[in-house]
């Protein structure tokens, strides 16, 4: 496995762990406030490495245009602010394993966005792997299909919407990752999202809530933030060297992580349909990933 795909695998595991940790603290920390704290910590992790990389980049390349900075800020707000707020809202009613399985539709949506923009080539093997993965998600949700109240699905819809936003951002980030170094792009995008969320979370009275959080809660929030900083760097590193669809396929690792940790830490039940869904997810991952990169051009080395 290449370094880029290993980074994508690490990202998949960290996403699953962060989903479980987020569900654990949502009773004390509301969605927007948790998202703000998550990426404030993530930004603090990346900032010490971002400035030297940015200075080194500017010695050889021109400074980014205002248009590029604005585009990266908007993508950061969507990727970190809106996506995670929707995910946290969904986790209030959806257990960690099912949320992770729904979020694993990310690769299919990425493929569709990439194909629509002409940036991805859909092969039969890749499409088959994605279809199998989707079937696994549907199978895992089978026990809830008997629910007739449409309001019971708002949590799942919120998680699905977060996957759509993440997929779009994964495709749209690529030109900027080829133009600028990875760590500064990550840090800048996170900072933009933190400023946005600090304003958006005023309605949750976040200054008072943050001041009253206990040590245990802070420990979990710190883990979520650290996993976000490391995981997002892994994502951008992988996106710089591999196609978005191949990278996001490794999000299939997050349902298994979430199912195991949700069972261990939250006492969530692991149904047979969930296990069967996980098997299908991994089968789809293997089928779609066991091939050469979709694009023939080699990507530039990480600066």
Write down the domain spans for the chain. Answer: 3-289
Q: 133-178 pLDDT, tens per residue?
A: 778 777 776 666 556 555 667 888 899 999 899 888 888 887 887 8
Q: Which two tokens stand for residue 138?
A: 């549907």
**Residue 171 CB-half CA count within 13 A:** 21
| Burial label, 283 (beta-carbon count in 10 A; 0-12, 13-18, 19+) | middle
**What pLDDT was estimated at residue 142?**
67
What's the sign of the alpha-carbon dihedral 151, 28, 102, 282?
negative
**Cα angle value 206/210/213 (rounded, 5°):** 140
Average pLDDT along the chain, 303 residues, taken 10 residues at a time: 84 88 90 93 88 78 85 92 91 84 78 75 75 76 61 82 89 82 86 94 92 92 90 79 74 78 80 77 69 43 41
Do residues 88 and 246 lie in contact, with contact meaning Cβ atoms separated by under 8 Å? no
**What pLDDT was estimated at residue 297?**
43
**What pLDDT was estimated at residue 207?**
92
Q: Which two tokens stand for residue 151?
A: 């309001």
**What pLDDT was estimated at residue 201?**
93
**Chain centroid to CA 148:** 30
Read off the DSSP letter of residue 82.
I
For the whole model, what pTM was predicted?
Answer: 0.76
**What pLDDT was estimated at residue 105?**
77
CA distances from 168 to 91, 106, 133, 205, 253 (A): 21, 9, 19, 31, 20
């Amino acid at each position: 496995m290449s370094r880029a795909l290993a980074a994508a695998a690490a990202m998949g595991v960290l996403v699953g762990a962060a989903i479980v940790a987020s569900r654990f603290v949502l009773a004390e920390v509301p969605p927007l406030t948790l998202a703000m704290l998550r990426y404030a910590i993530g930004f603090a992790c990346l900032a010490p490495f971002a400035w030297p990389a940015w200075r080194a980049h500017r010695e050889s390349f021109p400074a980014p245009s205002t248009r590029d900075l604005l585009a990266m800020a908007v993508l950061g707000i969507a990727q970190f602010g809106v996506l995670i707020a929707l995910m946290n809202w969904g986790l209030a009613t959806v257990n960690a394993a099912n949320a992770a399985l729904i979020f694993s539709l990310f690769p299919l949506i990425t493929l569709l966005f990439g194909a629509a923009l002409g940036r991805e080539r859909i092969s039969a093997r890749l499409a088959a792997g994605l279809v199998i993965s989707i079937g696994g998600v549907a199978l895992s949700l089978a026990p809830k299909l008997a629910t007739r109240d449409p309001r019971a699905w708002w949590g799942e819809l919120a998680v699905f919407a977060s996957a759509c936003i993440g997929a779009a951002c994964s495709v749209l980030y690529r030109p900027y990752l080829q133009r600028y170094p990875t760590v500064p792009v990550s840090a800048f995008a996170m900072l933009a999202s933190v400023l946005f969320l600090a304003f958006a979370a005023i309605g949750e009275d976040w200054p008072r809530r943050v001041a009253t959080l206990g040590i245990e809660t802070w420990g979990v929030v710190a883990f979520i933030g650290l996993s976000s900083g490391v995981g997002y760097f892994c994502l951008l590193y992988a996106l710089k060297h591999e196609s978005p669809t191949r990278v996001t396929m490794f999000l299939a690792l997050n349902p298994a992580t979430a199912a195991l940790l949700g069972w261990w830490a939250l006492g969530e039940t692991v149904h047979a349909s969930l296990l069967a869904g996980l098997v299908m997810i991994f089968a789809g991952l293997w089928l779609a990933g066991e091939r050469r990169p979709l694009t023939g051009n080699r990507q530039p080395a990480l600066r």
